[in-house]
Amino acid sequence: MTDKTANYRPQLRIPATYMRGGTSKGVFFNCQDLPSAAQVAGQARDDLLLRVIGSPDPYGKQTDGMGGATSSTSKTVILSKSDENDHDVNYLFGQVAIDKAFIDWSGNCGNLSAAVGAFAINAGLVDKSRIPDNGTAVVRIWQENISKTIIAHIPIHNGGVQETGDFELDGVTFPAAEIKVEFIDPSDAENRMFPTGNIVDQLDVPGFGQFKATMINAGIATVFLNAQDLGYQGTELQEAINSNPKALEMFETIRAFAALKMGLIEHIDQAATRQHTPKIAFVSKAQDYIASSGKSIDKAQIDLNVRALSMGKLHHAMMGTAAVAIAAAAAIPGTLVNLAAGGGERQSVTFGHPSGLLKVGAKASLKDGQWSVDKAVMSRSARILMEGWVRIPATTL
């Protein structure tokens, strides 16, 4: 008689916190709580996180994991006490593919950046002397994926993180406490704001034509195009793009050839293994539209409309890192983002996205013929949704 329990292995029980940050959700870990093999980069870490999230899932639902089957909810974060000078915590972000056994470590998540400071305080990763009894704790974050500094201003009440409040963020149903997030020197690690040297390029895309494009490395590598050149108004919601396979094919092809021109990949086939970056977005002049919530957006409220794709689908709101790219590009005269917003010099911009509107700020300067941005600023909110342990089969490691 066959022993049906012969291959039984117990589940691993790993401390974890499920958090919302901005318009994203993810599973947060203190690095020291992970099994030793997963505390360093490699296949063991990837296998563990894939199983936690529930990928790869050919059904596209992530039913057997913590993921929510969208790019906004298929995310993982690993934090550790920082070994960098003048920083409190190291922040590593993994964007988990839904239907593939793949985690993209090439970029940051700006939305979840808002949750990092709160998690770090709760996990004891920030020195207690830096946390006031009441007021604001300034958490200095080292973003490991892109080697950049992020400053999070976390509201504190009676010595603990204040999560509730009246700050409203379009794309998030309920109000919460406001968290100001500063992205310091948000160009890429080699300080190449415009990798081609141009603020507007002509991008040749076989099978689809030529497009004007602003390709920028700020917050995250992003390709901006004019909505009209793509046959869109700039007021589209998710269904208009995500239900159209031909449109998705067009955007992915444009993204791949932009990645090649930006020097992010060496061969066009490599784009499939770098899904998180670059992002692709399209802009238009300010127009009235109805947001996905049913809220009416008046063009007088905004400077321009922006729609962006993440992991191959139109995002329901706006990725935080893409918002940094929008802020930086809007501040630089002549970019497609700046022109859509009306041109000229500006230090802030309010843009419309599928869920509503968002204001972001950045200050740009031209030095020796090169544009730079000292920092980009935006407000987000974050809160713990659940904390305890996640469980995965021991056979994963």
Render 15-51 in DSSP notation, one character per residue.
Answer: EEEEEEETTEEEEEEEGGGS-GGGSSSSHHHHHHHHH
What backbone phi and psi angles, to 5 degrees, belong to 251? Answer: -65, -40
Does an H or E element contain 258, and which? helix 245-261
Q: Output the six-digit token pair for 275.
A: 């899904």
What backbone phi and psi angles, to 5 degrees, belong to 359? Answer: -105, 130
Burial of 127 (0-12, 13-18, 19+ CB in 10 A): exposed
Hey, which residues does 285 pair with through a beta bridge?
304
Hey, which residues does 217 pair with through a beta bridge?
221
Q: Output the six-digit token pair for 158.
A: 């009676």
Residue 33's nearest CA partner among 53, 55, 48 is: 48
Residue 325's nearest CA partner among 213, 196, 217, 180 is: 217
Q: Output the six-digit token pair for 59.
A: 């059904």
Is 283 within 8 Å of 263 (Cβ atoms)?
Answer: no
Does an H or E element contain 120, and which? helix 110-122
Tokens 């204001």 — which residue?
359
- Choosing from 109, 193, 215, 378, the catalytic residue is 109
Is 303 within 8 Å of 342 (Cβ atoms)?
Answer: yes
Hey, which residues does 96 pair with through a beta bridge?
103
For the question of residue 319 being annotated catalytic, the response is yes
- Choosing from 19, 66, 193, 319, the catalytic residue is 319
For the question of residue 109 being annotated catalytic, the response is yes
Fill in the DSSP letter of residue 273: G
Name the residue type at position 29: F
Q: What is the β-pairing status of strands 348-353 and 304-310? A: parallel
What is the set of active-site residues? 109, 319
